[in-house]
Chain A
Amino acid sequence: MIYSDKVMDHFQNPRNVGTLPDADGVGQVGNPVCGDMMTFYVKVKDDRLTDVKFQTFGCGAAIAVSSMVSEMAVGKTIDEAMAITNEKVAEELGGLPKNKLHCSNLGADALHAALDNFQARKAGTATGPKVVGDHDHDAAGEASDHCPYCAGPVEASTEMCSCKKCDLDLVECGHCHLYTNKAETNCTHCGAQLER
Chain B
Amino acid sequence: MKRIYLDHIAAAPVDPGVLAEMRPFLETHYGNPQSLHSDGQLAAEAVDAARESVAVLLGAEAGEIVFTASGTEANNLAIKGLALAQKAKGNHLVVSAIEHASVLKAVKTLERSGFQATLVPVDGEGRVDPAEVARALRPETILVSVMTANSEVGTIEPIEEIVREVRAKSPGVLVHTDAIAAAGHIPLDVNILGVDTLSLSGNAFYGPKGSAALFVKKGRKLVPQIEGGIQEGGRRGGSEDVAALVGMGAAARLAAGAMAERSTRMTALRDRLIDGLIRSVERVRLTGSRAHRLPYHASVCVEFVEGEAMLLGLDFKGIAASSFSACTSKSLKISHVLLAMGLDHAVAQGSLIFSLIDTTTAADVDYVLEVFPSVIGRLRNMSPLYTDFLKESGR
Contacts and interface: CB of A to CB of B under 8 A. Distances in A.
Interface of A: 8, 11-12, 14, 17-19, 28, 31-39, 54-63, 99-100, 137, 140-141, 158, 174-175, 192
Interface of B: 112, 304-309, 312, 316, 325-328, 330-334, 339, 345-346, 349, 379, 381-387
A58 B332 contact: no
Given A17-B382, A55-B382, A35 B309 contact: no
A39 B305 CA distance: 15
Contact of B384 (A8, A14, A57): A57
A147 B309 CA distance: 33
B112 A158 contact: yes
B185 to A, nearest CB: 30
Given A32-B349, A60-B312, A174 B333 contact: yes
A60 B328 CA distance: 10
Contact of B345 (A55, A60, A140): A140
29 contacts: A8-B312, A11-B309, A11-B312, A17-B381, A32-B345, A32-B349, A32-B385, A35-B327, A35-B332, A35-B349, A36-B327, A38-B384, A54-B382, A55-B382, A55-B383, A55-B387, A57-B349, A57-B384, A59-B308, A59-B327, A62-B309, A62-B327, A99-B331, A141-B334, A141-B339, A141-B345, A158-B112, A175-B326, A175-B332
A84 B229 CA distance: 59
B309 A63 contact: yes
B352 to A, nearest CB: 13
Nearest to A18: B382
Contacts of A36: 306, 327
B382 A56 contact: yes
Nearest to B323: A59
Given A17-B382, A63-B379, 20 more contacts: A11-B312, A18-B382, A19-B387, A32-B346, A33-B346, A35-B325, A35-B327, A35-B349, A37-B385, A55-B384, A56-B382, A57-B304, A57-B383, A58-B327, A59-B309, A62-B327, A137-B345, A175-B326, A175-B332, A175-B333
B153 to A, nearest CB: 17
Given A59-B327, A60-B309, A14 B382 contact: yes
B305 A57 contact: yes
A24 to B, nearest CB: 18
A35 B383 contact: no
A42 B104 CA distance: 47
A23 B50 CA distance: 69
Contacts of B306: 35-36, 57-59, 62
B309 A99 contact: no
A18 B387 CA distance: 10
B113 to A, nearest CB: 12
Contact of B328 (A57, A59, A158): A59
A56 B312 contact: no
Contact of A99 (B112, B332, B381, B384): B332
Contacts of B308: 59-60
B384 A28 contact: yes
Contacts of B309: 11, 58-60, 62-63
